[in-house]
Chains A and B, each alone.
Chain A
Amino acid sequence: MKKMMVMLLALVLALGMCTVYAEDASDKQYVLDKGVLVVGITDFAPMDYKDADGNWIGFDADLANAFGEYLGVKVEFVEIDWDNKILELDAKAVDCIWNGMTLTDAVKAAMETSNPYMNNAQVVVVAADKAADYQTVESLKDLTFAVEAGSAGEAEVNALGLANNPVLAQADALMEVAAGTSDAAVIDALMAAAMVGEGTSYENLTYTIGLNSEEYGVGFRKGSDLAAELNAFLVAKYEDGTLMQIAETYKVQAAVIPQVAAE
């Protein structure tokens, strides 16, 4: 038994040594050497989604492709589990998270984030026939909310002290409201605009008030020099009009945040 413990200890030490070695100096150099920028995304229209041929398109996807061209590397999109985004980055399974990510304090602490490039809000979704009753924050206090676990919506609801059921995804939160298992949901405004109301799968739902406003950004590994690189890229593309052109393609131009060079 003692021998086994010694062997185990030796193994742990050996693993520990490996970690000391392979610290990278520059994340940008790492990506350039590899020749490919791996972008972690989820299927999230209109930011990242598949066209009929199975190619990734959307405001974020098109911009990411342009950024790859600017760096001179290939861009590869990988669908990830949103809960695991920080893990995916740190494990180098992906090189950035570029998927309409809200810049929360938690995200900023765990990642090297770009400048915000788009405005968003967390909005309340309720059944359309009851929407008139829930136009103020005070009116929400007796409702039970469905929110995506770990989302900005959950943070807002908790901050207001409202009863809530955490679910796996924003789409599940909508399902809860449609099925009547929760009274209301809190999700991204961009998503609400695309998924509830007339002409969508949730015709009987609508969204009322926004609980906060927030901004989208791109996340890189902590300490990565790619974040500064992207900021410069965003300024250049805003100035030459490409950014707004892509935004108009996906009808999100109203939400774009103007990009100006730092002093």
Chain B
Amino acid sequence: MPLFEQIAEQMPIVFRSLNEGFLQTLKLFFVTLLGALPLGLLISFGSMSRFKPLKWLTRMFVGIIRGTPLMIQLLIFFYFPGLVLKQNIWGSGEAGRFAAASIAFIINYACYFSEIYRGGIQGIPVGQEEAGLVLGMKPGQIFFKVKLMQMVKRIVPPISNEIITLVKDTSLARIISLQEVIWAGQAFMKGSQGISGAIWPLFFTGVYYLVWNGVLSWGLGKLEKKLDYFR
């Protein structure tokens, strides 16, 4: 089979290139989670605030971010400062693109997470809060000692869903030329490192996503089991 021979011959070069790309994908994935998980909690507090202007402003912000495509947000975050403010704040080269992509992803995912947190917190029966107050607990104590861990348990399935979507969404960053794994795979179609017109590397990137999502699903399933004790 000449096709398989050709693939075997191209494999070492393609493999190295895809690994490099996937490293970028993973970096973006972890940075986004690290930033968006806490920021999401902060935003959820804003959208549940009893101070009305803050609540409205937060909800409007979440509405705008959730209502527009992440791809457009990436373009705006990366190009807007240089185009309109005449000052490219991201610095040159790959690092600047990565920084812009990280910020856009963190803000976008924090908005989705905030709604999941809100659902988790507001879904806890009001009786528990009333019981806490009767026992003389302060609102802060009630949140951290009674509600928080129950919320964490409840939100693991929907957050898992978002996390798995995030792995695949990282590919959108190629719109600002962040060289993640899809970019690396696609490069061989046009011609790169002596290989041109090869479409299989692009399809092969799917394996990377599949394996990584498999690992994540397994880990998140474990976490869910561990939290079972809360109910």
**B189 proximal to A (CB < 8 A):** yes
When distances are taken between beta carbons in the complex, the residues of chain B under 8 Å from A34 are 92
Q: Is the CB of B85 within 8 A of A171?
A: no
List the count of A-B residue pairs having beta carbons below 8 Å apart: 105
Bound-complex Cα distance A13 to B86 (A): 15
Q: Is the CB of A87 within 8 A of B197?
A: no
Binds B, one of A43-51, A138-146, A224-232, A233-241: A43-51
Instruction: Give A178's nearest chain B residue, CB to CB.
Output: B197
Binds A, one of B28-36, B74-82, B217-225: B74-82
Interface string of B130-151 (1 = CB under 8 A from A): 0000000000000000000000
> Which of B97, B191, B193, B195 has most chain A Cβ within 10 Å?
B191
Q: Choose among A22, A50, A172 the residue that contacts B189 (Cβ–Cβ < 8 A).
A: A172
When distances are taken between beta carbons in the complex, the residues of chain B under 8 Å from A194 are 191, 196
**B84 proximal to A (CB < 8 A):** yes
Interface residues contributed by chain B, number (CB under 8 Å): 38
Binds B, one of A78-86, A117-125, A254-262: A78-86
When distances are taken between beta carbons in the complex, the residues of chain B under 8 Å from A200 are 196-197
Q: Is the CB of B84 within 8 A of A15?
A: yes
> Chain A binding site: helix, strand, loop or mixed by DSSP?
mixed
When distances are taken between beta carbons in the complex, the residues of chain A under 8 Å from B190 are 42-44, 169-171
When distances are taken between beta carbons in the complex, the residues of chain B under 8 Å from A172 are 189
Q: Is the CB of B192 within 8 A of A93?
A: no
Interface string of B182-218 (1 = CB under 8 A from A): 0100010111110111110000000000000000000
Q: Choose among A36, A93, A174, A178 the residue that contacts B88 (Cβ–Cβ < 8 A).
A: A93
Q: Is the CB of A93 within 8 A of B82?
A: yes
**B122 proximal to A (CB < 8 A):** no
**A18 proximal to B (CB < 8 A):** yes
Q: Is the CB of A174 within 8 A of B197?
A: yes
Q: Is the CB of A195 within 8 A of B57?
A: no
Interface string of A75-101 (1 = CB under 8 A from B): 010111100100110111110000000
Q: Is the CB of A45 within 8 A of B191?
A: yes
Bound-complex Cα distance A4 to B175 (A): 33
Q: Is the CB of B198 within 8 A of A201?
A: yes
Q: Is the CB of A195 within 8 A of B197?
A: yes
Instruction: Give B179's nearest chain A residue, CB to CB.
Output: A79
Q: A93-B78, A200-B196 are in contact. Are A79 and B177 (CB under 8 A)?
A: yes
Q: Is the CB of A81 within 8 A of B177?
A: yes
Interface string of B54-98 (1 = CB under 8 A from A): 001100100000000000000000111111111110101110110
Hey, which bits of chain B sit against chain A, CB under 8 A? Answer: 53, 56-57, 60, 78-88, 90, 92-94, 96-97, 174-177, 179, 183, 187, 189-193, 195-199
16 A/B residue pairs, CB under 8 Å, sorted by A: A3-B53, A4-B60, A19-B84, A23-B86, A52-B193, A76-B92, A78-B94, A90-B82, A91-B81, A92-B86, A93-B78, A169-B189, A171-B191, A175-B199, A194-B191, A195-B191
Query: With contacts A175-B197, A178-B197 known, what are 15 further pairs, Cβ within 8 A?
Result: A4-B53, A15-B85, A43-B192, A50-B192, A87-B79, A90-B83, A93-B88, A93-B90, A93-B97, A169-B189, A170-B190, A195-B196, A201-B197, A201-B198, A202-B197
Hey, which bits of chain A sit against chain B, CB under 8 A? Answer: 3-4, 15, 18-19, 21-24, 34, 36, 38, 42-45, 49-50, 52, 76, 78-81, 84, 87-88, 90-94, 169-172, 174-175, 178, 194-195, 200-202
Closest 4 CB pairs of A and B: A91-B82, A201-B197, A171-B190, A92-B88
